[in-house]
């Protein structure tokens, strides 16, 4: 049908099928700012304004929009030429809401940003002075998995102030001394913010936002010009504008759309498959089954060579192992035709007995999932026992430690399967270039692993594959999996056409990867004074149908969480730790990498267990933990025994800021006033009112809890990052990195470090990441390694550049020793104060004398994996009648080394705490008895909205890590680790019941309370 659509005041005549959604039509017409997030509009990524109201473009037909006023993000900052003299930093044409999102650090991956901005615009167009609660409600229809909403809310309030004509508060953080330590306080709230009491009266929300975190500055901190500053993200402007930055934001001629037929059965063999009707459907270009492509065994886990896990997957197989496994691929002119073709494929299955209980997996007679002869094991691995991996680590003499204990505490803990739930689904586009090389444009965390691992699968040499990683709309480990690239690539190889394959949200839930569910048994020996004498953990981990990350995720569970507590006194010198694990196949959706990489599972068990022990022995829970926690100068206990299946190397931990984290966190949460305070626990005046939990105050109890956690920073002797930097004619630089910024801000912090070394502002570093043809190798974004590993490579490359700049400057300034020159303020400055600009040096080196391209290329591998540490606090209200738990406040004090960018780092902590909050109280993937997934959308899998959030507070306790030039450690994963146990411990504090299986749902709390009541009857 022919339609006339008025989009951003421009009339478009277009022809489309009657069934085309407005989302599809808008993107087809080039409005890429509107995004696909899910089929039901529940992510809100497809939000546009229709007659000034936010609506889901994916839920209405294009035809229904005829005669209405459509506004997309592209209307907010229409193009106009940049005036002469202004550089890329010119942002004056942004709408005030976009400007505020950029300035406050409200943009991480940016996939939800256009929708959030439009939702905010609809609010501010009718209410120029909203309360914070009104802002939260207005953007609550747009899910964000990255930010925790703190900064987006502040951005909207800031924009409101600007639109009211008030000057936005753009003060930079100011230094002040607190208790002998320098403390940076955050940005003040936007002007005219109503006081907290007013917010309570207006809406029930108790939340007030603060953009920048508190930072306890390390004594070694230097007064850097760029590093340590809240620099604007290098990609923030284009993301705020909704520019076509993501993998699916381009359209190629004759592009085909891919769809996959997924298995309806959990375990079956394909006896017969007839695709003749599907192939005959007009518009279908290819239908592929297991008979049509080479049978190459591989692992979908994007990891370094050799893959530390079994090779047990095929692009297509004649056996399927979970509901959602692949059966056939289709490429067609439209996705609707491809869907239709899927329905025309006839498959005859031989149903096999299935395995859903990990405790049954290794028993004799259990169904065998992997009986294929091509299976390639890694380390201890036995497919005949459904064993994907086995770990047995003994440190010290555990049996002697237990014999010396006064008390032994044993308990079992259970953690669920949960989803990464990045708002941008997996998406890949493949095409042949003019040299007949296969280009894979994909939303991946691991472009170089994609190229290396897919080459044999596709039957192409590595040199004939180019992988381009554009902006990524969140990954959280889910895109460390090589999950869909092969589908599009096989179809491009079969048809010669470009192919786009984008997961639906249902596919994300049923055919993607997720966090390993585990049963964790703890046994701990303790003396009466609280000295731990031995600690033991056994894990039964469910890897699902394939063993992707089976060994390494579960290995991390023990390696990180069991390393934190080593004991005290003689036990500190020689800790007694045992960590055993069996990682088994079942017919569930495969598990894989998810932010935290096994460690959140471990700390749920360790920190719930520590709390119980402290209470049982009558010890202060903070002092008991600190007494046994590892100290600086001690060996990482696991470094002598394990390194992800490779050779271990003993490693000393240099920096541990845990005690200061506890001190800061205690003060922020009000621990001393609340812990053990019966009046606070029970008095109605302390029980918060909430819009979402309706507490009957007489039945509500307050509680406070803590968890201490540690993570790692990269994988030592393995993770490698590379960087190259070249100088341009005007003294700016191109920084090329293979590291992948998946919304974390890593491009920005890498640019900051390079800019610091080269004495230029961050905007003079033009960052490009990543393209396997142009950028140096990097193992990708995982293991909390980018700032540390790739950052060290960037610093090395920048130092090489700096040396060449100084050599040229010395000649131009007539100096004999170039090393006396320093670079600052875009100049090379001699000891006597004479200076020459980098522009002059660049022109001279490129065009005039001693000509050379000033550049640096470097790579870095670390022999260390310095752990970050944190103290996580939670305050909750529990309704004893319903079991409903309201988390009122989360405080996290983190030692992540030196902080390169407080805005991006605190954004990581806020977003991580929010994901972890879902892990604590509501997120869980559920299956029926036949392995059918119950959770297939964001209705049945709830992630937190802006209007449901507790107050979040982030504190950085800096320590200077000596193994990195700027003293950094990791910060991205550790926020995932402590929220769930801190909430669990707070519930114990509130109502005296232990919930050992997360998420802690109202049903579980109510059942536990009822059991206690029944016991006392």
**855: which strand partners?**
726
Q: Which is nearer to ligand FES, 738 or 743 (CB)?
A: 743
Q: Is 145 in the site for ligand FES (CB under 6 A)?
A: yes
Residue with tokens 């002598």: 640
DSSP character string of 353-408: -----GGGTTSTTPPPS---TT-B--SS-BGGGTEEEEEEEEES-HHHHHHT-SEE
Q: Is 818 in the site for ligand FES (CB under 6 A)?
A: no
Q: Which is nearer to ligand FES, 109 or 487 (CB)?
A: 109
Q: Is 468 in the site for ligand FES (CB under 6 A)?
A: no
Q: Which is nearer to ligand FES, 146 or 890 (CB)?
A: 146
Q: Which is nearer to ligand FES, 107 or 887 (CB)?
A: 107
Structure tokens belonging to residue 487: 């589908």
DSSP character string of 52-72: TEEEEGGGSBGGGGTTSEEE-
Q: Is 111 in the site for ligand FES (CB under 6 A)?
A: yes
Stretch that binds ligand FES, among 101-109, 461-469, 769-777, 808-816 (CB under 6 A): 101-109
Which sign, positive or negative, has the C-alpha torsion 987, 992, 998, 999?
negative
Q: Which is nearer to ligand FES, 719 or 741 (CB)?
A: 741
What is the smallest separation between the CB atom of 502 and ligand FES, expressed in angstroms? Answer: 16
> How far apart, in whole angstroms, are the C-alpha atoms of residue 565 and residue 552?
21
Q: Which is nearer to ligand FES, 43 or 775 (CB)?
A: 43
> How far apart, in whole angstroms, are the C-alpha atoms of residue 669 and residue 501?
47
> How far apart, in whole angstroms, are the C-alpha atoms of residue 994 and residue 988?
6
Q: Which is nearer to ligand FES, 110 or 525 (CB)?
A: 110
Stretch that binds ligand FES, among 144-152, 332-340, 638-646, 870-878 (CB under 6 A): 144-152
Residue 530: phi, psi to the nearest 5?
Answer: 95, 5
Stretch that binds ligand FES, among 140-148, 205-213, 397-405, 986-994 (CB under 6 A): 140-148
487 touches 430 (CB < 8 A): no
What is the smallest separation between the CB atom of 668 and ligand FES, expressed in angstroms? Answer: 25
Stretch that binds ligand FES, among 108-116, 128-136, 240-248, 554-562 (CB under 6 A): 108-116
CA within 13 Å, CB half, 393: 31
Q: Which is nearer to ligand FES, 109 or 117 (CB)?
A: 109
What is the smallest separation between the CB atom of 566 and ligand FES, expressed in angstroms? Answer: 37
What is the smallest separation between the CB atom of 153 and ligand FES, expressed in angstroms? Answer: 12
Q: Which is nearer to ligand FES, 147 or 664 (CB)?
A: 147
600 touches 916 (CB < 8 A): yes
Q: Is 119 in the site for ligand FES (CB under 6 A)?
A: no
Q: Is 147 in the site for ligand FES (CB under 6 A)?
A: yes
Q: Is 423 in the site for ligand FES (CB under 6 A)?
A: yes
Q: Which of 802, 827, 831, 838 is nearest to 817 (CA)?
A: 831
Q: Is 474 in the site for ligand FES (CB under 6 A)?
A: yes
| First and final C-alpha spacing in the chain | 72
Residue 809: phi, psi to the nearest 5?
Answer: -65, -40
Q: Is 110 in the site for ligand FES (CB under 6 A)?
A: yes
What is the smallest separation between the CB atom of 728 and ligand FES, expressed in angstroms? Answer: 31
Structure tokens belonging to residue 990: 């509130």
**771: which strand partners?**
468
Structure tokens belonging to residue 159: 């924009």
List the interface residues with ligand FES, window 26-45 (CB under 6 A): none
Stretch that binds ligand FES, among 132-140, 143-151, 400-408, 639-647 (CB under 6 A): 143-151
Residue with tokens 């090589």: 482
Stretch that binds ligand FES, among 106-114, 504-512, 578-586, 613-621 (CB under 6 A): 106-114
228 touches 970 (CB < 8 A): no
Alpha helix segments (H runs only) across 459-561: 485-495, 505-511, 550-561
> How far apart, in whole angstroms, are the C-alpha atoms of residue 596 and residue 908?
12
List the interface residues with ligand FES, window 151-190 (CB under 6 A): none
- Total of chain residues touching ligand FES, rule CB under 6 A: 14
Q: Is 904 in the site for ligand FES (CB under 6 A)?
A: no
Q: Which is nearer to ligand FES, 120 or 216 (CB)?
A: 120
Q: Is 324 in the site for ligand FES (CB under 6 A)?
A: no
Going across the sheet that includes 518-526, the strands are: 387-395, 577-585, 532-544, 518-526, 407-415
Neighbours of 253 (CB within 10 A): 7
Q: Is 102 in the site for ligand FES (CB under 6 A)?
A: no
Each residue 251-290 as x (binds ligand FES by CB under 6 A) or -, in order, gives ----------------------------------------
Q: Which is nearer to ligand FES, 108 or 769 (CB)?
A: 108
Stretch that binds ligand FES, among 107-115, 625-633, 661-669, 694-702 (CB under 6 A): 107-115
**953: which strand partners?**
891
Among 48, 50, 71, 112, binds ligand FES (CB under 6 A): 112
What is the smallest separation between the CB atom of 472 and ligand FES, expressed in angstroms? Answer: 9
Q: Is 974 in the site for ligand FES (CB under 6 A)?
A: no
For residue 73, the SS3 value is helix
Cis peptide before 999 (omega within 30 of 0): yes
Q: Is 144 in the site for ligand FES (CB under 6 A)?
A: yes
Q: Which of 417, 391, 387, 392 is nearest to 310 (CA)?
A: 387
What is the smallest separation between the CB atom of 108 and ligand FES, expressed in angstroms? Answer: 4
DSSP secondary structure code for residue 83 in this structure: P
DSSP character string of 278-298: HHHSTTEEEEE-TTTS----B
Q: Which of 614, 243, 809, 537 is nearest to 817 (CA)?
A: 809
What is the smallest separation between the CB atom of 99 and ligand FES, expressed in angstroms? Answer: 17
What is the smallest separation between the CB atom of 539 and ligand FES, expressed in angstroms? Answer: 31
Among 21, 108, 554, 862, binds ligand FES (CB under 6 A): 108
* Whole-number CA gyration radius for the chain: 28
> How far apart, in whole angstroms, are the C-alpha atoms of residue 150 and residue 910?
7
> How far apart, in whole angstroms, are the C-alpha atoms of residue 627 and residue 604?
20
Stretch that binds ligand FES, among 55-63, 111-119, 302-310, 642-650 (CB under 6 A): 111-119
Q: Which is nearer to ligand FES, 946 or 983 (CB)?
A: 946
Q: Is 245 in the site for ligand FES (CB under 6 A)?
A: no
Q: Which is nearer to ligand FES, 554 or 769 (CB)?
A: 769
> How far apart, in whole angstroms, are the C-alpha atoms of residue 675 and residue 667?
12
Stretch that binds ligand FES, among 145-153, 283-291, 297-305, 329-337 (CB under 6 A): 145-153
Among 50, 70, 146, 841, binds ligand FES (CB under 6 A): 146
What is the smallest separation between the CB atom of 233 and ligand FES, expressed in angstroms? Answer: 11
Q: Taking phi first (over 0 means left), then psi (-120 to 50 degrees means alpha), and beta for anything else, what does residue 481 get?
A: beta
What is the smallest separation between the CB atom of 976 and ligand FES, expressed in angstroms? Answer: 16
Stretch that binds ligand FES, among 54-62, 75-83, 138-146, 914-922 (CB under 6 A): 138-146
Distance set, CA 194 to CA 191, 438, 837, 896, 952 (Å): 9, 57, 48, 34, 19
> How far apart, in whole angstroms, are the C-alpha atoms of residue 1005 and residue 1017?
19
404 touches 325 (CB < 8 A): no
| Alpha-carbon 123 to chain mean position | 29
Q: Is 907 in the site for ligand FES (CB under 6 A)?
A: no
Among 621, 665, 743, 931, binds ligand FES (CB under 6 A): 743
Q: Is 109 in the site for ligand FES (CB under 6 A)?
A: yes
State the residues that interact with ligand FES by CB under 6 A: 107-113, 144-147, 423, 474, 743
């Amino acid at each position: 049908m022919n339609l006339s659509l008025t989009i951003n005041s421009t009339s478009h005549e277009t022809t489309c099928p009657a069934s085309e959604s407005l989302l599809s039509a808008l993107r087809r017409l080039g409005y890429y700012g509107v995004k696909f997030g899910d089929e039901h509009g529940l992510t809100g990524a497809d939000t546009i304004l229709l007659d000034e109201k936010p609506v889901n473009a994916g839920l209405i037909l294009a035809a229904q929009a005829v005669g209405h006023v459509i506004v997309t993000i592209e209307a907010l900052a229409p193009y106009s030429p940049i005036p002469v003299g202004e550089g890329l930093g010119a942002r004056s044409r942004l709408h005030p809401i976009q400007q505020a999102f950029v300035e406050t650090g409200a943009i991480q991956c940016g996939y939800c940003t256009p929708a959030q901005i439009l939702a905010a615009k609809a609010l501010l167009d009718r209410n120029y002075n909203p309360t914070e609660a009104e802002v939260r409600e207005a953007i609550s229809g747009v899910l964000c998995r990255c930010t925790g909403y703190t900064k987006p809310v502040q951005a909207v309030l800031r924009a409101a102030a600007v639109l009211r004509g008030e000057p936005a508060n753009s003060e930079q953080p100011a230094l002040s001394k607190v208790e002998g330590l320098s403390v940076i306080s955050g940005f003040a709230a936007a002007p005219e913010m109503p006081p907290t009491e007013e917010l309570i009266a207006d809406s029930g929300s108790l939340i007030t936002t603060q953009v920048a975190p508190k930072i306890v500055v390390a004594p070694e901190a230097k007064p850097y010009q760029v590093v340590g500053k809240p620099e604007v993200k290098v990609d923030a402007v284009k993301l705020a504008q909704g520019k076509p930055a993501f993998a699916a934001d381009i359209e190629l001629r004759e592009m085909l759309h891919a769809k996959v037929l997924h298995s309806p059965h959990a375990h079956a063999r394909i006896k017969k498959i007839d695709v003749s009707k599907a192939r005959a459907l007009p518009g279908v270009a290819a239908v592929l089954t297991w008979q049509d492509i080479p049978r190459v065994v591989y692992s979908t886990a994007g990891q370094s060579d050799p893959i530390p896990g079994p090779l047990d997957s095929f692009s297509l197989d004649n056996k399927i192992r979970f509901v959602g496994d692949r059966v056939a691929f289709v490429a067609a002119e439209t996705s609707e035709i491809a869907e239709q073709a899927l329905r025309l494929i006839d498959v005859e299955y031989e149903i096999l007995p299935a395995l859903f209980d990990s405790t049954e997996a290794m028993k004799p007679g259990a169904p065998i999932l992997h009986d294929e002869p091509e299976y390639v094991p890694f380390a201890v691995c036995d497919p005949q026992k459904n064993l994907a991996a086995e770990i047995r680590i003994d440190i010290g003499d555990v049996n002697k430690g237990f014999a010396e204990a006064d008390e032994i505490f044993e308990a079992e803990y259970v953690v669920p399967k949960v989803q990464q739930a990045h708002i941008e689904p997996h998406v890949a586009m493949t095409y042949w270039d003019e040299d007949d090389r296969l280009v894979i444009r994909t939303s991946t965390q691991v472009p170089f692993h994609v190229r290396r691992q897919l080459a044999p699968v596709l039957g192409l040499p590595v040199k004939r594959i180019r992988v381009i990683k554009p902006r990524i709309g969140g990954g959280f480990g889910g895109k460390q999996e090589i999950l869909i690239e092969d589908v599009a690539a096989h179809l491009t190889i079969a048809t010669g056409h470009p192919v786009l394959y984008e997961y639906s949200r249902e596919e994300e839930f049923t055919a993607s990867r997720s966090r390993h569910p585990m049963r964790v048994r703890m046994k701990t020996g303790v003396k009466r004074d609280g000295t731990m004498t031995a600690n033991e953990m056994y894990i039964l981990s469910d890897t699902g149908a394939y063993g992707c990350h089976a060994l390494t995720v579960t290995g991390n569970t023990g390696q990180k969480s069991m390393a934190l507590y080593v004991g005290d006194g003689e036990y500190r010198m020689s800790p007694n730790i045992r960590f055993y694990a069996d990682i088994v196949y079942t017919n569930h959706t495969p598990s894989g990498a998810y932010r935290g990489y096994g460690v959140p599972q471990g700390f749920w068990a360790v920190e719930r267990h520590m709390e119980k022990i402290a209470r049982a022995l009558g010890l202060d829970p903070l002092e008991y933990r600190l007494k046994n926690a590892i100290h600086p100068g001690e060996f990482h206990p696991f470094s002598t025994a394990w390194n992800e299946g490779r050779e271990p190397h003993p490693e000393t931990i240099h920096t541990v800021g845990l005690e200061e984290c506890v001190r800061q966190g205690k003060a922020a949460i009000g621990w001393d006033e609340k812990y053990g305070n019966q009046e606070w626990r029970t008095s109605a005046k302390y029980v918060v009112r909430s819009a979402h939990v309706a507490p009957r105050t007489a039945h509500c109890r307050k509680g406070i809890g803590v968890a201490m956690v540690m993570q790692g920073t990269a994988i030592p002797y393995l993770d490698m990052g590379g960087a190259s930097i070249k100088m341009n004619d005007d003294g700016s630089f191109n920084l090329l990195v293979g590291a992948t910024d998946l919304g974390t801000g890593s491009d920005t912090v890498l640019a900051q470090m390079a800019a610091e070394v080269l004495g230029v502002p961050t905007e003079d570093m033009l960052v490009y990441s990543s393209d396997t043809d142009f950028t140096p190798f990097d193992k990708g974004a995982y293991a909390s390694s980018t700032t540390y590993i790739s950052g060290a490579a960037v610093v090395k490359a920048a130092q090489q550049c700096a040396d060449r700049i100084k050599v040229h400057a010395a000649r131009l300034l007539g100096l004999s020793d170039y090393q006396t020159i320093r670079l600052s303020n875009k100049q090379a400055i001699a000891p006597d104060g004479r200076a020459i600009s980098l522009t002059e040096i660049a022109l001279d080196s490129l065009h005039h004398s001693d000509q050379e391209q000033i550049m640096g290329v470097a790579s870095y591998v670390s022999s260390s994996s310095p752990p970050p540490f944190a103290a996580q606090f939670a305050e909750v209200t529990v309704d004893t009648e319903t079991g409903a738990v309201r988390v009122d406040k989360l405080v996290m004090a983190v030692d992540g080394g030196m902080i390169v960018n407080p805005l991006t780092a605190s954004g990581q902590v806020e977003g991580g705490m929010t994901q972890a909050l879902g892990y604590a109280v509501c997120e869980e993937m559920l299956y029926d008895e036949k392995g059918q997934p119950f959770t297939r959308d964001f209705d049945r899998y709830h992630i937190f909205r802006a209007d449901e959030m507790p107050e979040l507070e982030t504190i950085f306790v800096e320590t200077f890590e000596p193994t990195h030039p700027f003293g950094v450690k990791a910060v991205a994963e550790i926020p995932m680790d402590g929220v769930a146990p801190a909430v669990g411990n707070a519930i114990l504090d509130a109502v005296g019941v232990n919930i050992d299986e997360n998420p802690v749902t109202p049903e579980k709390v109510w059942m536990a309370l009822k059991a206690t009541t029944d016991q006392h009857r």
